[in-house]
Structure 1
Amino acid sequence: GAGKSTVFSLILRFYDPEIGKILIDGVDVREADPVSVRQRIAIVPQDVTIFAASARDNIGFGRPGASKAEIETAAKDA
């Protein structure tokens, strides 16, 4: 299609561009630590999926190991 997956793969350095360069905050990704770059990138899907689980499980999904109190606080804050 439009090349979204290709751009994403280039940003994460699954491969490097044959011509040109990818800059993040003015830094060429080839000069940055790939692990550091990948830790700062997230995917936000266009389709929202509600898991077949409890509200607590869904809220806690984004933070594995969150305590019951932390999940309840997140729910109240939302």
Structure 2
Amino acid sequence: MKNKLKYPMVIQWSEEDNCFLVGFPDFPGQKWRSHGDSYEEAVANGIEALESLIISYEAVSEPLPKPTFFKVAE
């Protein structure tokens, strides 16, 4: 599974929700997929949400979206 977790994860504080929201821009649908009260909790919940997304895609033989890769400044 680890090799499939190469998707960007967006973590953003929400004043309205009073927590960190987690999203995966490469996956269509809802913008936010998970959350956490702390940044660390949001990361852990985000990894779990991404694993669940991948499992659900594979369960219905849906091809996974192509991951976005960002060029690192040299």
TM-score (norm 1): 0.19
Computing the radius of gyration from Cα coordinates, the structure with the larger value is 1
Q: Which has the higher contact order (CA 8 A, sep 6+)?
A: 2
TM-score (norm 2): 0.20
Name the structure with the higher strand share. 2
